[in-house]
Structure 1
Amino acid sequence: MSEHAAVVAGEPVPVERVDALLAAVPARDRETARDRETARTEALARAERQRRRWATQVVVTDELARRACAERGLAPPREVSPERVLAVSGTDVADLGSIVAVALAHSPAARALLAALEAEQRVPEEAVREYYVRNLDRFLTKDALRRGVDPFATATADDFRPYERVRDDVARELRRARGRQAFFDWLDRAREGVAYPAGHEHPGDPAHPDHEHRH
């Protein structure tokens, strides 16, 4: 097996970093298969191969984020401690995909970069107000919810929390969403020049027989 898991900007990423992450993150697919006693040996082996490819993407994201932080002059984050990967919620996995969600839990550099990208976002007032108008059902008062008011038919102005009271929360939510999109865009660009040895390709790369499109 190769001694490196990827090559970033001409520099190898040691396979030990992937091994450390694999040791820290439970193999959910393998445990489920054993509990149900439905998967054959080959299916388990395939799942483990894909888990290694998935872990490689998490480690590469960390490496790329470290470099981006250095380029931006962000304070160097503390060293990654693979044994202490932060908890990842199901909501984050659904919103971000498992690779990015775990990368953010695993990598202080990725979190620092995401925070910087979010801080750079400027949300126009028109966008905030438009979101409020288009999503009035999210701003019903507690009393209106208790009465089962239909926000698109029977509701009156008094049934909604005023724009001025929710404006800052809406702007914060939109800024967060734009920051995440900026992070996704950065990651797509940053990964373009990364090279992988056999066994560490992206899990969705159709060039290997185990590929599956799961982020």
Structure 2
Amino acid sequence: MSGANRGNGRNGRSGHAAVVGGDEVPVGRVDALLAAVPARDRETRPEALARAERRRRRWATQVVVVDELARRACAERGLAPPPQVSPARVLGVSGTDVADLGSIVAVALAHSPAARALLSALEAERTVPERAVRDYYARNRDRFLTPDALRRGVDPYYVLQPSDVLPYDEVREGVVRELRRALARQAFFDWLDRARSCVEYAPGHEHPGDPGHPDHEHRH
């Protein structure tokens, strides 16, 4: 069943932050996430702090919307609904994930069991051609240097001896996992782009990069 609700929000606040497929997403879900994720802005001037908080609310709304969309996608796919984790226990987010995925998707995957379940399903569906695996191995020899080659400071961008590189059969499964993961992430982004078409945002909860706002910024 969808996690959206109609009517009053939680945590004592009323109203909705967004409408997803005709169902209202309560403001309380955004408030709960904001309480769980510390602000990264260090503004002290009142007007700057207010602007930063407006941006943060729109960013948090995006995270909650991804969770709501993922819950619906899991239901449509017949995936068992994952147990919802309290926003106060959002998983840690690495800087690498933020760089690779953007802060909205990285935090959504940490916050939302449904988003993680959907990503896992997409990954299980990906097939990596053998040619792509061999091509990756050939183009990224610097990632497959042997411990001895690393100790000797071998330059991976110069001429390498066969003994300087780990054998293909030894690293193949790891490359397949990495490429499948990359394909799954791209499929997740493609799904999200399509799924967002049914979302309408309440005033003050629009996308943080919406150019219709004078203080917009792009913080994916």
**TM-score grouping bracket, smaller chain normalisation:** over 0.9
Q: Secondary structure at the match of 1:126?
A: helix
Distance 1:79 1:21 in 2: 13
Distance 1:140 1:79 in 2: 42
Structure 1 residue runs of 4 or more that deviate by more than 6 Å after TM superposition: none
Would you tell me which structure has more helix in proportion to its own residues?
1
TM-score with structure 2 setting the length: 0.92
* Equivalent in 125, 130, 135 of residue 135 of structure 2: 130
Unaligned runs of 5+ in 2: 1-12
Unaligned runs of 5+ in 1: 34-38
Contact 2:133-2:175 within 8 A present in 1 as well: yes
Q: Which amino acid aligns with 1:89?
A: S
* Equivalent in 15, 26, 32 of residue 20 of structure 1: 32
Q: Does 1:187 align with 2:192?
A: yes
Q: Which amino acid aligns with 1:17?
A: R
* Equivalent in 55, 62, 69 of residue 57 of structure 1: 62
Q: Which amino acid aligns with 2:23?
A: E
Q: Is the deviation greater in 84-93 or in 105-114?
A: 84-93
Q: Does 1:156 align with 2:161?
A: yes
* Equivalent in 146, 150, 167 of residue 141 of structure 1: 146
Corresponding residue for residue 6 of structure 2: none
Please give the root-mean-square deviation of Cα atoms over the aligned residues, in Å: 1.2
Deviation at 1:2, TM superposition (A): 7.0
Distance 2:82 2:27 in 1: 21
Contact 1:6-1:194 within 8 A present in 2 as well: yes
Corresponding residue for residue 21 of structure 2: 9
Correspondence 1:25-40 to 2 at 5 A: 25-29=37-41, 32-33=42-43, 39-40=44-45
TM-score with structure 1 setting the length: 0.94
**Structure 1, residues 32-90: CA drift from partner, whole Å, max 9, x if none?**
33xxxxx4211111000000000000000000000000000001111231111111111
* Equivalent in 175, 189, 207 of residue 180 of structure 2: 175
Distance 1:87 1:155 in 2: 39
